[in-house]
Chain A
Amino acid sequence: MSVFPFSAIVGQSDMKLALLVAAVDARIGGVMIFGDRGTGKSTAARALAATLPPILAVTGCRYNCDPDDGERCPDPCTGDKARRVPVPFVDLPLGSTEDRVLGALDLEKALSRGEKHFEPGLLAKAHRGFLYIDEINLLEDHIVDLLLDVAASGENLVERDGLSVRHKARFVLIGSGNPEEGELRPQLLDRFGLSVEVRTPDSVDDRVEIMRRCDALERDPKKFAAKWRGEDAKVLRQIESAKAALAGVKTPTRALRDTAALCKAVGADGLRGELTLMRSARALAALEGDPAVTRDHIGRMAPLALRHRLRRDVLDETGSTVRIELALAELFG
């Protein structure tokens, strides 16, 4: 199945914005997509990964080692030859076992030759790329624990079956799920930098356009890709110039105060909300070519950065997004 071009996705501007911002600054930490099935969640994530430029990795390394990194690789990968590989995009299916996720002993080599070899798991394959977890709210508790641990430490340590392997595992975590099917632990939600809510498009025109484009892709993928290549190239240039400009974006004191006031007003838990809001506002400013962070940037990123960090007050019927919008209106006018 060929990849749907990122720019060809109809509507879903919030989701596309969140993915772009997450791509500009990896420290923002991934995107959680709440929504119904069939709203293009996995399509969009996959499409973005395909749009990004290939990365430089040591030839033949199973852990996607960066040749400039100098970190020891579990395999004896020789750092001299490097080649460009596409940005890794790994799906974590729902029924995944620990072995599959973390990696396990290569039994064939152990049995036939008595050699200890580590078979890398999904986390190794996702290093320096994206890990996409569909229906993350239905994932087994113990797998969620492992993911949280790796996301927190940035490396995967496997000590079992007589193995002791440590490898880097830094990736952008993209989760999707329908909140009606199960709640996510707040500790896991906090790991996601941004969150978006997607709904199936209301307008008939949009739906017709979606059907038309999917049909075009199926019938002639090459032609379809060629048609949208120009737009995708624009997106890529936008991301690259944003990355370059990010360090130079000014963050005036007023912006810092606005951020703090907003987080306090909505009662966001902990400090991570403020940090994420600040980082994503800067990334947005960089994407749009602005020299400094303004209230507008903060206001637009606030729902994405904060909606999943508000303490659920059962006695309060208003949804999180509405609470943020109310606070924005009150503070910023």
Chain B
Amino acid sequence: MVADALLAVRLFVSAPRKFGGIALRGFGPVREHLMEQVAGALAAHGPVVRIPPNADAELLLGGLDLAETLARGTEVKRPGLLDIAEGGVAIVPMAERMSPGVAAHLANAIDRGALAIILLDDGLDADEAPPPALLERVAFLCDLSSVRSLDISLGKQVKWGDAPPSPLKKQRSAIAATAFALGITSVRPILFAEACARLVAVMRRSEKVRDEDLETAVRLALAPRALHLPEIAEASAPEPERPESEPGMQDEADRDRERADIPLDDLLLTAAQAAIPQNVLDGISQGSTRLSGGQAGRARQKERSTRRGRPLGSVPGLPGDGRRLSVFDSLRAAAPWQTLRRAAVPDDARPLHIRKSDLRIRRFEQNRESLIIFAVDASGSSALSRLAEAKGAVELMLAEAHVKRAQVALVAFRHADADVLLPPTRSLTRARRALTGLPGGGGTPLAAGLHQA
């Protein structure tokens, strides 16, 4: 697995825009060490730009250079990060927390062929993943979280050259069939797999694309995107007719002959299936896949606010009563009118003419708080077991609270009375302390059922 990941990175670095991009999952010293080598190697291909986590549309696409505009009296534009990165590579840290808006702009840039991206995915759980729109457009998905050694090196870059070997028609249809069998419906992975096979052939100094190159390409570009497991046909390959040879001696020619007798499709499919990462296999068996990650459910719904949260631009309005003035946006609205307004009152020496209609107030976006209340019937003989199950469910939910940010509470009812056993909280520690009196927790059927969900 590690060797495959390193090979994928090496291929990407050799020809970034042919592969669209690469996603590297797993934060820690290993990825940092790898990225140092990557950054050095990429510098040869063009600009390398880092997209900060608080990027917005203006930062990416460019906007008004306010100070210059005010100084010169004419509109002066400032290039956006995507313009600066044109022809090169954009590195995106914390990709699993990217907003859909930023993802859309990056996807657009990749489609135009303007740049390639490196997604640094810090996610831990299965549903923390970069936006699907970007995962779709990158060739390789690599997971470095299980690598336990810093002794990794990238190897020399491979030159794409003028005319790398092209696959034959039957090789192309084998790639397509493999992708189809794995449930990959999009065309992009197939194109990436072909590009990968070609570059691997160049790397191995071969004049044509051989079956091993296809196997490698399928492992790197298709296996991590598998959406369902293929149904391998029962029919086995016919026994090769082997001439009399020493038992235990199988040379290159024999192996090739054996391989040639197995249909290429099955060969590739087996290779791909063996290379499907464990977390993808788990996702398939549970009925969900990593590619559908991102925001999900009510707990992640955002609500507009004028007070706190992630900044979300500005709208016309008057400040006051908790609404904050956005000085920069107000100035930007006023800037184009300065020449006219100054001309209208030549005796007025004010540096800036601002009207009420120019004022803008800031808007923010914060996560909608959600509260889940477990109301448990605590009367009767099975009350204790019910409470134990609820305790297990509460702990399980809170263990993931840092992802979902939902609060949890537990209320026990007994005929006409109710007890708040756990007031609303987001903290597993507090829940544990409050519910120590109750038996159970953890491995109970309800908890197991939630784990499945």
Contact = CB atoms under 8 A, between A and B. Distances in A.
Interface string A159-201: 1111000000000000000011111111100100000000000
A317 B441 CA distance: 9
A227 interface: no
Nearest to B63: A162
B373 interface: no
A315 interface: yes
Given A140-B309, A152-B93, A105 B68 contact: no
Interface in A87-128: 95, 98, 105, 107, 110-112, 114-116
Contacts of A95: 308
B150 interface: yes
Interface stretch (A40-48, A268-276, A286-294): A268-276
Q: Give the one of A140, A157, A187, A190 with max B CB within 10 A.
A: A187
Contact of A115 (B54, B67, B147, B443): B67
Contact of A111 (B27, B54, B68, B351): B351
A161 B30 CA distance: 35
A116 B328 contact: no
Nearest to A153: B50
A105 B428 CA distance: 41
Interface string B53-64: 110001100011
A114 B352 CA distance: 10
Given A112-B351, A140-B308, A162-B66, A314 B430 contact: no
Contacts of B426: 181-183
Contacts of B30: 270-271
A161 B58 CA distance: 9
A157 B52 contact: yes
Interface size bucket, B side?
35 or more
B375 interface: no
A95 B307 CA distance: 11
Nearest to A110: B67
B399 A312 contact: yes
A180 B29 contact: no
B433 interface: yes
B293 interface: no
Given A140-B308, A152-B93, A182-B426, A275 B66 contact: no
Contacts of A98: 54, 311
Interface in A52-67: none
A116 B59 contact: no
Contact of A162 (B26, B65, B396, B425): B65
B67 A271 contact: no
Given A185-B402, A187-B27, A271-B148, A160 B71 contact: no
A145 B71 CA distance: 35
Q: Is the interface of B mostly helix, strand, loop or mixed?
A: mixed
Given A111-B351, A183-B428, A275-B29, A149 B52 contact: yes
A186 B402 contact: yes
A232 B244 CA distance: 87
Contact of A179 (B27, B93, B427, B447): B427
Nearest to B96: A187
Nearest to A274: B148
A44 B65 CA distance: 45
Contacts of B443: 315
B310 interface: yes
Contacts of A270: 26-30, 145
B66 A161 contact: yes
Nearest to A156: B52
Contacts of B311: 98, 142
B351 A145 contact: no
B271 interface: no
B310 to A, nearest CB: 4
A272 to B, nearest CB: 5
B79 to A, nearest CB: 10
Contacts of B89: none
B325 to A, nearest CB: 11
A116 B312 CA distance: 24
A110 B66 contact: yes
Given A110-B66, A114-B71, A149-B93, A186 B428 contact: no
Contacts of B150: 271
B67 A114 contact: yes
Contacts of A271: 28-30, 147-150
18 contacts: A98-B311, A110-B70, A142-B310, A159-B52, A159-B59, A160-B59, A162-B64, A179-B429, A181-B427, A181-B430, A184-B402, A190-B28, A270-B30, A271-B29, A272-B28, A314-B442, A315-B442, A317-B441
Given A180-B429, A190-B28, 10 more contacts: A140-B309, A149-B53, A181-B426, A187-B27, A187-B94, A187-B124, A190-B27, A272-B29, A314-B396, A314-B441
6 tightest CB-CB pairs across the interface, nearest first? A114-B71, A315-B442, A116-B67, A270-B28, A180-B430, A162-B65
Interface of B: 26-30, 32, 50, 52-54, 58-59, 63-68, 70-71, 78, 81, 93-94, 97, 122, 124, 145, 147-150, 308-311, 327-328, 331, 351-352, 367, 395-396, 398-399, 401-402, 425-430, 432-433, 441-443, 447
